[in-house]
Amino acid sequence: METFDYFEDVSFLKGKDALEVLDTLKRTTLFRVKGRDSTQAVLVSTLIHGSEPCGFRAFVKEINEERDYPIDVYFMVGNVAAAQIEPAFSHRNIPEGKNFNRIWCVDQPEDDEETCIAEVKGFLNKLPLLGVLDLHSFMAKGVSPHTFVVSVDDKTLELAKCLSPYVLKIEPGMGALIEAMSPKCPSFVVECGTHDAPEADAFAEVVLDKFFKAYGILEGEAGDALTDDVFVNMTNFKVKAESKAVWAEEKDPSADVTFRPDCEGINLSAVKAGEFCGWATSLDFMVASTGTEDIDVAEFFYVEDGKLYFKQDCVPNLMCANEFIAKESGFYLFEKR
């Protein structure tokens, strides 16, 4: 193990708060809390994005409970280097670094970050995992918590529907942790709320509790389904690196696209074909893909009289009035299943 730390003991973290725990870590770290039966295990992943501390705080709280687990529980603290950049929890990735949740399916690692993730993946693949929970938050405000899955089999959906009010199926090719783990076991990303918001911290604790109950790690039931809807057929849209995107009440002539400023408010809502999206003179500012395949942006948007419109009924997600995010991970359109 050259590129990540592994501990079978969490006692040195006890009594510390989240910032103190973060300070003790040196790099991507995995913890094993041994259960009575080590032939089965679950993984709880936190801080794959350094600016998303809700899951990490839930982990710190959980280990201070000093519980006995019936099976092994592994906790991962993903992008420690990004999270430690001052002020703590302000950086999604390290500057010029990789997005830690897009490099889990790399065949030939080309840098230290990819090598680290490849080694963690090799380690995780040897574990008897029954389930994976990866806790995240998002930049947008006023958006509901939601759950991403890779597979929509009955077992995965049963728990996914309990974890949050929306379930979205991502497509292979993103290189996310849950994509790498889904062939092994049901795997969930839960987006718990806005970065660093108390509501997101509270939601992450509830989700962890439900996940543990679903796997018999805690006594009790995961609870009732919060939704029947599942959104599928994901398409990812990114603003091109060389294009200029702004968000404003009226067209900015210096930009390639001016998105409507309230675009965050249409996330996870049913958008109808013909809905106004902003101003642009062409669709050249954007690329689209399913993850594995490039898609023609013109299937989903059109420009008329200098205005940009949605072309299909769809459900947007992770639309965010932020140029870095619009270029780096972009936003997504789904269809209701």
Q: Which of 76/280 has CB closer to Zn ion?
A: 76
Minimum CB–partner distance for residue 139 and Zn ion (Å): 9
Minimum CB–partner distance for residue 189 and Zn ion (Å): 8
Q: How far apart are CA 300 and CA 167, in angstroms?
A: 21
Stretch that binds Zn ion, among 136-144, 250-258, 295-303, 304-312 (CB under 5 A): 136-144
Nearest residue (beta carbon) to Zn ion: 136
Q: Which of 177/257 has CB closer to Zn ion?
A: 177
Q: How far apart are CA 13 and CA 25, in angstroms?
A: 10
Q: CB neighbours of 20 closer than 8 A, spacing ≥ 6?
A: none
Residue 42: what residue type?
V
Q: Which of 182/329 has CB closer to Zn ion?
A: 329
Q: Which of 136/238 has CB closer to Zn ion?
A: 136
Report the site for Zn ion in 93-122 (rule: CB under 5 A). Answer: none
Minimum CB–partner distance for residue 77 and Zn ion (Å): 14
Q: Is 196 exposed, middle or buried (0-12, 13-18, 19+ CB in 10 A)?
A: middle
Minimum CB–partner distance for residue 142 and Zn ion (Å): 18
Of residues 49, 291, 275, the one with CA closest to residue 169: 291
Stretch that binds Zn ion, among 135-143, 214-222, 299-307, 326-334 (CB under 5 A): 135-143
Minimum CB–partner distance for residue 279 and Zn ion (Å): 29
Q: Rounded to the nearest 5°, which phi and psi values hold at 113? A: -65, -45
Per DSSP, the chain holds a count of helices (H) and strands (E) of 8, 18
Stretch that binds Zn ion, among 21-29, 128-136, 255-263, 266-274 (CB under 5 A): 128-136
Of residues 212, 292, 240, the one with CA closest to residue 44: 212
Contact predicate 30/120, CB 8 Å: yes
Stretch that binds Zn ion, among 34-42, 77-85, 131-139, 301-309 (CB under 5 A): 131-139
Minimum CB–partner distance for residue 311 and Zn ion (Å): 28
Structure tokens at 123: 């380690």
Minimum CB–partner distance for residue 266 and Zn ion (Å): 20
Report how many residues bind Zn ion under the rule CB under 5 A: 3
Minimum CB–partner distance for residue 135 and Zn ion (Å): 9
Of residues 184, 191, 192, 135, the one with CA closest to residue 156: 184
Q: Which of 45/243 has CB closer to Zn ion?
A: 45
Binding mask 74-93 for Zn ion (x = CB under 5 A): --------------------
* 91 C-beta neighbours (distance < 10 Å), count: 19
* 130 C-beta neighbours (distance < 10 Å), count: 18
Q: Which of 98/136 has CB closer to Zn ion?
A: 136
Q: Which of 244/327 has CB closer to Zn ion?
A: 327
Q: Which of 49/161 has CB closer to Zn ion?
A: 49
Which residue in the set 136, 161, 210, 238 belongs to the binding site for Zn ion (CB under 5 A)? 136
Three-state SS for 201? helix
Q: Which of 91/260 has CB closer to Zn ion?
A: 91
Contact predicate 337/294, CB 8 Å: no
Structure tokens at 216: 């018999």
Q: How far apart are CA 142 and CA 21, in angstroms?
A: 30
Minimum CB–partner distance for residue 78 and Zn ion (Å): 9
* Residue 257 CA: distances (Å) to CA of 34, 35, 153, 267, 336: 52, 53, 39, 19, 27
Report the site for Zn ion in 32-61 (rule: CB under 5 A). Answer: 49, 52
Residues that bind Zn ion (CB under 5 A): 49, 52, 136
